[in-house]
Amino acid sequence: MSKRALAIPMLMALAACAAAPPEAGAPPGRADAGDTLLAIVGTPLLIALKIPVCVVSVAVAAPLAAGAAFGGPGSAQAARSVLGEGIEQNCGPPYVLSP
């Protein structure tokens, strides 16, 4: 088996093991078994869906940002800001579903 074929499942398993730290004011508690199972099963699906959405977002935003450069400096900056926020939302965290 190639290294790439082994790396993808290992990365998915590593992502499934990660969990967000508890909130500062939240009392310690236990998650329901259903929530935990949903997080375990849903995390690889989240990653599998997040990757193509991120790629499409960047592929659409890059030409739009380049086209916005032909406008005035204020409109170009505003367009880059909006496009950057969209990419951050589509490509950024969360990468793991937490129970």
Q: Is the per-residue pLDDT at 65 higher than 80?
A: yes
pLDDT value of residue 25: 56
Q: What confidence score (pLDDT) does residue 29 get? A: 62
pLDDT the model gives residue 75 = 86
In angstroms, the Cα distances linking 19 to 35, 42, 89 are 13, 13, 19
Of 28 and 56, the one with more pLDDT: 56
Amino acid at 27: P
At residue 35, does pLDDT exceed 70?
yes
